[in-house]
Every structure is written in C-alpha cells, then in structure tokens.
Amino acid sequence: MLIDRIATTLAPAPAIAETHRILADGKDATLGVPGLVRPALLAAGFARDPRPTFVIVSGEEAAERFWRQTAAYLGQERVLRYPQRTDTPWSGASPDPREIGQRARAMYAMERGDDVVVVASARALLRVIPPQGSRVFSPVRIEAGAELVLDDAIAELVAMGYERLDAVEGPGTFAVRGGTLDVFGADEVQPVRAELFGDEVDSLRRFVPGTGQTIGDVETYEAYPCREMRPSVATAKNVERVLHAKLATDADLRADVERIREGVFFTGIERYLPLSAKRAGGFTEYLGPRTLVVIAEPRSLFDDAARAYDELESAAKAASFRSVLPSGTALEGLYFPPAKLDFGDRQRLTMLSLTRAGGVVDAELVARRPEVTGGEERFVGGIRSLMTSGNAVVIAVPDRRARRRIADALVEAGVAIAEERDHAPEGADDAAVMDKSALPGGAVLLSDVEVPAGFVVPDARLAVVSVDDIFPRSALRRARRQIDPTRVTFSFKPGDYVVHATHGIALFSEIVRQEVLGAERDYLLLVYAKGDKLFVPMEQVDRITRYVGPEGAAPRVTRLNTADWTKATGKARSAAKKLAFDLVDLYARRSTVDGHAYGPDTPWQREMEAMFPYVETPDQLAAIADVKADMESDKPMDRLICGDVGYGKTEVAIRAAFKAAQDGKQVMVLCPTTILAQQHFTNFSERFAPFDVRVEVISRFRSEVQQKLALEGFARGEVPVLVGTHRLLSRDVAPKNLGLVIIDEEQRFGVEHKEHLKNLREQVDILTLSATPIPRTLQMSLSGVRDMSVIDTPPPNRFPVNVHVGEWDEDVVSGAIRREMERGGQVYYVSNRVKSIDDAVERVLLAAPEARVEVAHGQMSEKQLEAAMERFAANEVDVLVATTIIESGLDNPHSNTLIIEDSQRLGLAQLYQLKGRVGRSHVKAFAYFLFPRESALTEQAIERLTAIKEHGELGSGIKIAMRDLEIRGAGSLLGAEQSGNLSAVGFDLFAQMLMDAVSEARGEPLVAHADIRVDLPAPAFLPEEYVDAVDERVRYYRRLAGSPTIEAVDAVAAELEERYGALPEPARNLVDVARIKAFSADLGITSVAVVRNRLVLSPLSLSDEAMGRAQAMGAIYLERKRELARPLGYGESVTAAALGTLSAIYSRESL
C-alpha cells in the first residue's frame, strides 16, 4: 500500500529515526513537527509498527479533521473516533446513538488491545464512563454461520439501550419477525438482517431501511451500545444505599429507583451514572500497556479542556443542577476536572509545532506544502523542481479521468511516470498493494489513493502531492452565514424619531435607569404627542426601529392610548397586502419552477479556478460555494452578491459562467456601461481562452459585422458567453440554450430593462452583482425573500481609501496630482458635465501644467473613447478627466488618486462607486470629494458627503446603501402611491408588513411576536462603565432582545465578553433574562415574575412528566389559571431559579 512505501521512505529522516529509536527504547518522545504532516506521519509510524494508539488533540473540529485525514491513509476500519457527548445530564435529551456507538467501539478496541488508532479531543475525555470490566461497551456480535440465541440477543439489545420497533428506522433500533432479526447498529450507516435457522445465523445481509432491499452479504456485524450505563438491580441497590435518607420524602427518587431496578431507560437516568458502579471510570484504564498516547499541542489541549469544564459548570448552575452524590459538586462523578486528566504510565509521543518547540524537543521535522498550483505550466514546473531536488514524488489522484489528464500532461512534458493502484479490482496483480519498498528519489509515482493534503519533507527526499494541491477546492460547503441585521439596519440615538410596533411613532429621548421590584433596569424613554411618555424595558427593545419615511416628510408623532395608530397600521397593512403580489409574485413562481440542476465541478473547473492569481478571501469562497450550491439544485437561482468594490465579485461571476458553459448552457453578462462590458469581456476571455470557451461582446467598441457574427454564433449555440450592455435585451438576441444571466449593477438599468430582467428571472438562473444594492433589494434580502451572499472581507494588503471632503481649491488639486505623479501613479478627475469638461481640463492644467491629460465621456465616438481608454491603461496618461462613465468597469492598479468636482451633485451610490476606482492595490489611495466655494449645499447633499466621509473603512457597501435609503427616502422605491403609508408607519415597519403579506400569500404560518414580560427583582442592565457608547448599548440590548434561542443569547454574551471583558453582575443578569425569554418563547410562556416570594410562570400547560419534575422542586401548578408557582429559597438567585425551573419543565416536545 502507498502508506507502507511512504513509511519506508520517511524512516531514514534523522528526526523520524531518532523518534523511532526513543520509542523503541520504551521512553517518551517529543517531536517538533508542523500540523500539515502529522496525520501522514502518524499513519506511516502505525503502518511500520502497528500498536494501539490513542491520539488527543485540542477541540472537536480538530479531532474530526485529524481522524478523517489519518483514515484517508489507513482506512476507517483502523482509525476510530471517540467523540464528545453533546447531551448533558441536565438537558433532558437522550444521548445520540451514533456518538455513544462510536465511543463504545473505540473503548472496546482499546480494552481488547486491538491495533487501531483512536482520535479524541480533550473535551471528549472529561465525561466519566463506567470503569473497565463493567462490559458496558461490549457489542452484540452477529456472525454468519455462528450460534445466536434470539431471546438472549433481544435481551442484550434492550439492555444496551436499543429500541424495539415493528421496523428499524435509524441507529439504535431493532425489529423481530419470527426467526428474522433486523438490527441498526448505533454507529452504523446501514442495518443488517439476520435470518435464523434454529439458533444458527443462516444468512446475514445489509439492507436499505424503509424498502427492505438487501445490499449484500456480510460475514460479521457488531452492534455497539446506545447508552453508557445500564439500569439494573445492582445499580438500584447502590442508589438506595447512598441516597437512603432522601428516599422516604422524595417520590420521584423512589420512582426512578424502581425503573432502574426494572431495567427501564428514562429521561434523566444519566445523572445516576456515579451510582451505577463502585467508582468512576476514565479512558486511561481502558488503555492497555502497549498503547501509545499521542498528544498534539498539550498546552492548547489543556486550555480547551479547562474552557469546556467551565462551560459545563455554568450550564449546570444555570439549570440548578447538582450531582446525585450527597456531598458532591454540580459535576461530581459525571465529569473529570481538567486537573485530573491523566494518561497514566502509558508511553507518550508529544507533537509540538516548530514555532512552539524551542529547545524541549528530541527531534524536529521540517515540512512544507508543494508549490504546484496555478495551471498546467506551473504544475509541471513544480513537479520538475521537486524531482530535480532528488525527491520521490507521489501524485495522489483518486479520480480516473483527472489522473489520466495529469499523466498525459506530464508525459507530454517529457516527465517519466509510474502508476500504482491501492484500489485495484479483484483478480488484479496485487504486487503493488503488497510493495513496502522505499520510493525512488527523482521519480514520479501516480497513485489512486486520496490523501487529505500534500507535503514535502526535505530530509526524507519525499513529496506527496494531493489533488487539492493541483486543483484547489473552491470552498467547503458550510452553513450559510446569517447577516446580523443590527449591524446594517437602522440604529438610533437620542433625538431620533423611532417606531414602536405596538404604540407608534415617538421621539427617543434617552436611556433611563429605574428601580422596579427592588432592582435596577434600563429603559428607553419614548416621548409621544401631548408629552405622553412610555418607558420601554430593554427586553422589548427589538420592537423598536428608527423611523425612515419619504424624503422631506416630518413624521406625525402618535398619541398614546388612542385609535390613531391602530387606524394607521390597519391602512398600511392593507396596502402591503395589495402590494405584496406585485413585488414578490416572481419569487413565489420561481420556487415552483424546476430549473436546470448543474453537475458537480469538473477537473477543468478546478484547473480554471486554480489559475486565479490571488488568494481568495473566506467571504469570497463562501459566496462561490453559495452560487454553486444554487446552480446544482433543481430550483432556478436568483442570488445577489453584495461585495464592496474591488472585493472579487467578478471572480464569483467568472466561476459561475464557466460552470454553466461546462454543462452546455449559455451565459449572458449584462453591464450598465460600454466600458464595464469591455472590461468583463477582457477578463472572461483571458480566463476562458485555455479551455476553448468562446467569449464575445456586443458593444459600440465592436464593428457592426463583428456584432452580427457574435449574435449569429450565440443563436447557433457556438458562443457560450456573451457580454454586453442593455443591447442584449433586444429582440434580435436569441440564445439557443440560455442557462445563466449575470447582471452587474442592476440598479443602474432603466425601468423598461428591469421589467425585461424580471421576466428573465422566471426562466433561467440569475446572478446579480452589486456593491451598492438598491435599498429595497437589500431590505428584501435581509428579510429572507431573496438569497444573498456578502463579501465583506478585504483582499490581503488592501488599505482604506483616505477621504477628503471640502471646497475646490487649486492648491489641494495641485498637491494631489503632483503627489500621485511623483510615485508613478495616475489620477481620475471627474467632472460630470460634458459641455463644460474642457473647462475642467483647463483647471487641471493650471494646477499641474506638467501633467499628461486625456478626456473620456459618453458622447465621444467609439474609436476616440476606446483610444483614450487604451492610452490610459498603457500608463501614457497622468490624469484622465472624465464623466461618471468611469464609475464602473475600470480596474487600473496604477490609479490611486480620485478627484471629483461638484461632488454635491452626485448620489451617494455614485460617489461610493467612484471611490471604488482607486485603492485596488497595496498602494495607499486618496479620494477628494470637492464642491464649489461658498456654494449653498442642500441638507441631503451635506448628508451624502458626510456619509462618504464616515464610511471610509473597507467593506462599507451595505452601510452606504442603507444610508442612501435614509437620505433619499423610501417612497420612490415602493412607488409614489405608498408615500402616505410610509409616512404613517415608517419604512421598516411597512417592510415587515410586506414580508408578512408575502408569507400569508404563500400560505405560510405567520410567526406571532410574543410579548414576554420578565419581571424579576434582579438588576439587569449594561452599566455605562462597561459599555459606554449609547448606540452600542442600544445595539446589544436589541440583539439580546431579538435572540430567539439560548445559543443566540450565548453568542451575544460571548461577544460582549470578548470586546469588553468579564460580564459584571447586572450584565450577567441581563443575559440570563434573555435566556429566560428564549426558554419561555418555546414553552408559550408570556410572563415570568416574582409574586410574594414565589416564582410565577404563566400561561403554561404541563405534561404529567413535567408536572412531576415541577412538583419535585416544590412548585404548585394551578390548572385553572395555567400558572406554575415555585417558592424561592432564602438568598436564592431569582434568575438562576427561573432558568432552573424552565429547564426542568422543558421537554423535547416543546422544541
């Protein structure tokens, strides 16, 4: 096998030889080695000297990755996982059968001393397990031709936590029909069917659950336990012995003891684990004397374990949970403190990164990644370089077609190769599989093994090249990122008009702190008409948004306790329902249409993407993954890519277009300007040329004959990609098999063109690119109506543009131009009036007489404009005086100064797009937004220029779009006829009404907003000394109030701690109140309060089981009032009591 040959080749390397010598002497060893080569090194060592090996790394994600990478070399039958349990004794959730099954398989293999590798995180080792010898991890083994007593097998499966059903449904279930036993093993992916003849297994086959279709015969099948404890008479006696004092008064405890005695599993049984044996067990005692314990980065490992233990303690405290051990802490007998994690006297191999190794290692191994990425030429050159250095080169490519193409490329370049297959078909010569010889230096071996990552070890003269080194994966599929609306929607500050969804429009006055029920809380003070005041508790601040209405319209402040607001919202809601169909009917229709499902990426796709000369940003990779997932689905795509100027949106479009062309579909790329069309044509052509994908452009830079030939080729299907302006929407453009339309800056197209695009959306995939989306599009995107990917990570070495806003001054202009010329750069000078552009040229020449000046505007002839742009691109021009024709499309890394005169005349989106023409390289850029001296600027112009100054940081496109909405008003976006409704209720609330109307039109249930009151006598607020900025406090109040789940609340709390340090007591209470709201929302509770020293929850319906748990805490349930009242102990924390009570009655049925 390949790993055997890698092991033999690595063995002579000094660091590996020394480590092997130390281990062979029975001593512990410490090796300095980079993370990228650790899985391969471990697999090679195991292949050379198989022995039980237990690997411990920091973090579950790292453990999963290490397991997969090691299993790629050795196979999953020899590399096992010991995962962290995701259930807790206080959660009320049953253990995940797969997790328990994987843990049991690993511990059973270790206990038997099997030669396997087990990979675990430090977190996974904290959970107490039954001691060795308890046989809790032993499987039911079914073997074809062997004896199996059916009744004994049934009893054992039940004891292991398996559920008996009429037909198996998933892991941890079994079924019996006559002499047939079906078992779905806890950690298996398929069940097995055993046909018995008497007490002998006559046949054993895997089958598909649901259909019963058999897949194939198997020799043996091991069903591992679903639980890590077994209820038994012995456990029941031990519980009675230890807790005898409580049995007389605790009916629930007595009931639990009886169920344990009868062997019944029930919710919460895991808490009795400390009493199921005479002592707690840990993983160490399952490790035999031959076991090698491998520890990767011990400092990080123990730090992670300590964090995990603290998290568990906090969760137990929040749930008011304590161990059943009489004198124990909350986690006593259930989890090991990190200080007690010990590996006994087992031999250890510690792996440290070279940066941390210092002088404490026994040996150091240097490794790096192979440099073979970037197209065929760079690949072949990289392989030659590795060979010239004397390396044995292994190219591991599992895909047969890709392997053949690589072989052809190497042979054509004169590189001799040998081929081996680990996965040869049955009956083939297995000499290669059995070969363990060293790989010859300077030779190339092409293998069918899939290795996780390539590496070069110079000391061993070995290079392993993986398929991902040759064709980098575009992105891992990952969960879609959720956009934080509080970061891009409207914040508000004292003095702003706001809208309360229930009470109407008011003026936000200030944050006031008041004492209620003996505890301090923060409230928003809202002032209504006639001086009426409303104090809004912070847990309801998510009901409030900033008022945005039609431009120039002053809002009418609502009177409290009148019908005014009810009438206004009723009228607006009716209008929203009427408007809903027109706005989103397209999206509703598309969801019912079957689109073209594109296939997975081809090797050519990977090769084309590998030619991208830059490193993709994480957001860019995520956007590419989103687009590909949409294209590979059977529903038409309509995705908006919102990325700042210069952040790589075009690369997303290029990869989507190539994917469509690979599937035989045609692509149209629509651009708002001729210059942008020409730029895209150049970019697409250069990238697609090596793959014979023809790209044409329709623009006035092309002759009529050229355009005619391009359109005819598009109609015949000979042109896969056609780029152009709105000319592509003409009737004579008739593609043969259109599959994808890419629209760049859709907001710049006219009404008629947008209507045409709207019709296109019903037929094909649509990908829209924009740095400043029209606000309606953005608002709908954030509301989940339109798919959206955000690229807000700047490319490496990108700096924010230095923005200057002020009056036009010759000295300022002169200094800006001369500074740019001195560093060899170029200047854009924007004057947006064609008739006076010559005057602008004179002003430039007066300011900088030595500058070479060129002019560009839309009224020039095609040849003149093309020639001007070509001279500028060739760096033959110092200053390009132009109209806003340069707003989109120009990508010139030499241009790093922008000067705009009369900037007050341009819209905010235009200003932002123009700013994006500079700062597209690692050179510091400057943008000057100038207005005439002594000119009277309108309030809107001042706000636009202020916004462009304020949002100078990288990635401000979304913020600019939202600010543009505020400045211009929302009336024109939804139609002039909606201005009255927008004025009455504000844009944000009207948009929400619109979303509700859409849901209603689709027949979707509307999610009612539950007003949950939490009145507890505990100070709950963010102190000013903790978060001093008012707008930041409001933002965090909004996020906590709007967090629908415990996990969401915890994420906000973690962010607060990361930014501001440990939570002070009032802030901790505020977070707990948010957790209480999240719990209450799931249970339908609308009030949590303390009344006469009792915690009162209402309204509430309880199951018998939940009733029992509540009564165990001394709570009283008043069925008529649907109210639960629980006495509070002296000095008991009310927030902890509320969380503990809610946790106790919380059940899976309420999820």
Residue with tokens 């200094």: 815
Say if residue 564's pLDDT is above 60: yes
Cα 373–Cα 374–Cα 377 angle in degrees, nearest 5: 105
Q: What is the pLDDT of residues 256-286, one digit of tens each?
A: 999 999 999 987 888 888 888 777 788 889 9
Say if residue 837's pLDDT is above 80: yes
How confident is residue 943, by pLDDT bands cut at 50, 70 and 90?
confident
Mean pLDDT computed over 1038-1066: 85
* Rounded Cα distance, 540 and 521, in Å: 12
CB of 1093 closer than 8 Å to CB of 1128: yes
3-state secondary structure (DSSP) of residue 986: coil
CB of 514 closer than 8 Å to CB of 521: yes
How confident is residue 1049, by pLDDT bands cut at 50, 70 and 90?
very high
Higher pLDDT, 1008 or 186: 186
**In this predicted structure, what is the pLDDT of residue 992?**
74
Higher pLDDT, 110 or 861: 110
3-state secondary structure (DSSP) of residue 979: helix
Cis peptide before 1099 (omega within 30 of 0): yes
**In this predicted structure, what is the pLDDT of residue 839?**
93
Say if residue 780's pLDDT is above 80: no
Mean pLDDT computed over 150-173: 91
Q: What is the pLDDT of residues 218-236, one digit of tens each?
A: 999 999 999 998 898 988 9
**In this predicted structure, what is the pLDDT of residue 419?**
84
DSSP string, 857-907: -TTS-HHHHHHHHHHHHTT--SEEEE-GGGSSS---TTEEEEEESSGGGS-
Say if residue 482's pLDDT is above 80: no
Mean pLDDT computed over 1034-1050: 87
**In this predicted structure, what is the pLDDT of residue 937?**
81
* Rounded Cα distance, 116 and 51, in Å: 7
Which residues face 1091 on adjacent strands? 1094
How confident is residue 490, by pLDDT bands cut at 50, 70 and 90?
very low
Q: What is the pLDDT of residues 358-385, one digit of tens each?
A: 457 888 898 888 988 767 788 899 999 9
**963-994 burial code (b ≥16 CB/10 A, e <16):** bbbbbbbbbebbeeebbbbbbbbbbbbbbbbb
**In this predicted structure, what is the pLDDT of residue 445?**
92
Mean pLDDT computed over 606-622: 82
**In this predicted structure, what is the pLDDT of residue 1059?**
66
Based on DSSP, count helices (H) and strands (E) in the chain, helices before strands: 38, 43
Mean pLDDT computed over 154-164: 94
Percent of the chain with pLDDT over 70: 85
Say if residue 852's pLDDT is above 50: yes
Say if residue 1146's pLDDT is above 80: no
**What stretches of 865-909 adopt beta strand conformation (E)?**
879-882, 895-900
CB of 193 closer than 8 Å to CB of 68: no
How confident is residue 1015, by pLDDT bands cut at 50, 70 and 90?
confident
Q: What is the dihedral of CA 282, 286, 289, 291, to 10 degrees?
A: -90
How confident is residue 654, by pLDDT bands cut at 50, 70 and 90?
very high
**In this predicted structure, what is the pLDDT of residue 827?**
95
**In this predicted structure, what is the pLDDT of residue 959?**
52
Q: What is the pLDDT of residues 294-304, one digit of tens each?
A: 999 888 888 88
**Those residues with Cβ within 8 angstroms of residue 789's Cβ, 6 or more apart along the chain or in another chain:** 619, 622, 623, 626, 627, 639, 640, 641, 642, 652
* Rounded Cα distance, 214 and 363, in Å: 53
**CA 592 to chain CA centroid, nearest Å:** 27
**In this predicted structure, what is the pLDDT of residue 980?**
64
Q: How many residues does the chain have?
A: 1151
DSSP string, 211-270: T--EEEE-SEEEE--S-SS---HHHHHHHHHHTHHHHTT-HHHHHHHHHHHTT---TTGG
**In this predicted structure, what is the pLDDT of residue 190?**
86
- Domains defined for the chain, CATH in brackets: 2-133+282-364 (3.40.50.300), 140-223 (3.30.2060.10), 233-275 (no CATH), 376-470 (3.40.50.11140), 593-791 (3.40.50.300), 802-953 (3.40.50.300), 1013-1150 (3.90.1150.50)
- CB count within 10 Å of CB 624 equals 24
Q: What is the pLDDT of residues 1082-1096, one digit of tens each?
A: 888 989 999 888 999
Residue with tokens 């067990």: 281
Highest mean pLDDT of the ranges 314-318, 534-538, 865-869: 534-538
Q: What is the pLDDT of residues 945-986, one digit of tens each?
A: 877 776 655 545 555 555 554 444 444 345 445 556 666 887
Which residues face 363 on adjacent strands? 31
CB of 1002 closer than 8 Å to CB of 588: yes
CB of 419 closer than 8 Å to CB of 408: no
Q: What is the pLDDT of residues 684-714, one digit of tens each?
A: 998 998 888 999 999 877 888 999 999 999 9
Highest mean pLDDT of the ranges 517-521, 814-818, 942-946: 814-818
Token output for 300: 């990080």
Mean pLDDT computed over 799-821: 84
Q: What is the pLDDT of residues 430-448, one digit of tens each?
A: 444 456 788 888 899 998 8
Higher pLDDT, 1104 or 724: 724
Q: Round the average pLDDT of the chain to a whole number and report it.
A: 82
Helix (H) or strand (E) holding 1028: none
**In this predicted structure, what is the pLDDT of residue 280?**
74
**In this predicted structure, what is the pLDDT of residue 105?**
96
